[in-house]
A and B are shown apart, each in its own frame.
Chain A
Amino acid sequence: MSREGYVNAALIAGLIGVPLWAHVAGEPFTITLATRAVIFALAAVGLNLALGLGGLVSLGHAVFFGIGGYAMGILAFHAQTYTPMFPDWLNIEGTKSMPVIWLVAVVSSALAALVIGLLSLRTSGVYFIMITLAFGQMFYYFAISWRAYGGEDGMSIYLRNSFPGLNTLDPIQFYGLCFVLLCAALWLTARIARAPFGLLLNAARQVPHRVETVGLDGQRAKLVAFVISGAITGLAGALFADLNRFVSPTMFSWHMSGEIMIFVILGGVARLFGPVAGAVLFVAMEHVLGDLWDHWHILLGLLLLGVVLFARGGVIGLLAGKARTHD
Chain B
Amino acid sequence: MTDPVLEVRGLTKRFGALVVSDAIDLSLNPGEIHALIGPNGAGKTTLIAQVCGMLAPDAGRIRLKGQDVTALPARARARRGLARTFQISALAMEDTVLQNAMLGALGAAATPWRLFRPVLQDAALRATAEAALSRVGLLDKAAVRTAELSHGERRQLEVAVALTLKPAAFVMDEPMAGLGAEGGQKMTALLDQLRHEAPILLVEHDMDAVFALADRISVLVYGRVIASGPPDAIRADAAVREAYLGDAA
Given a CB threshold of 8 Å, the question of whether A touches B is answered with yes
Which listed segment binds B: A71-79, A92-100, A215-223, A229-237?
Answer: A215-223
Which residues of B lie under 8 Å from residue A196 when comparing CB positions? Answer: 106, 111-114, 117, 119, 122, 125
A165, B145: Cα distance in complex, Å: 49
Known: A191-B115, A199-B102, A209-B90. A327 touches B107 (CB 8 A): no
Q: Is the CB of B94 within 8 A of A195?
A: no
Which listed segment binds A: B4-12, B62-70, B78-86, B220-228?
Answer: B78-86
Q: Which of A200, A213, A221 has the most CB of B within 10 A?
A: A213
Name A's interface SS: helix
Q: Is the CB of B116 within 8 A of A191?
A: yes
A315, B97: Cα distance in complex, Å: 28
Nearest-neighbour CB distance to chain B for A47, whole angstroms, equals: 18
Which residues of A lie under 8 Å from residue B114 when comparing CB positions? Answer: 195-197
Q: Is the CB of A200 within 8 A of B95?
A: no
Q: Which of A215, A221, A327 has the most CB of B within 10 A?
A: A215
Which residues of B lie under 8 Å from residue A275 when comparing CB positions? Answer: none
Asked if A325 is an interface residue, CB under 8 A from chain B, the answer is yes
Nearest-neighbour CB distance to chain A for B160, whole angstroms, equals: 12
Which residues of B lie under 8 Å from residue A224 when comparing CB positions? Answer: 113
Known: A194-B119, A325-B145. A209 touches B54 (CB 8 A): yes
Nearest-neighbour CB distance to chain B for A52, whole angstroms, equals: 11
Which residues of A lie under 8 Å from residue B76 when comparing CB positions? Answer: 215
A196, B102: Cα distance in complex, Å: 9
Contact with B along A70-111 (1 / 0, CB 8 A): 000000000000000000000000000000000000000000
Asked if A210 is an interface residue, CB under 8 A from chain B, the answer is yes
Residue of A nearest to B98 (CB): A327
Q: Is the CB of B92 within 8 A of A212?
A: no
Can you list 22 pairs linking A and B with CB atoms under 8 Å apart? A191-B116, A194-B118, A196-B111, A196-B113, A196-B122, A196-B125, A197-B115, A199-B102, A199-B106, A200-B106, A202-B95, A206-B94, A206-B95, A207-B90, A207-B92, A210-B161, A213-B52, A215-B107, A215-B110, A221-B112, A325-B94, A325-B145
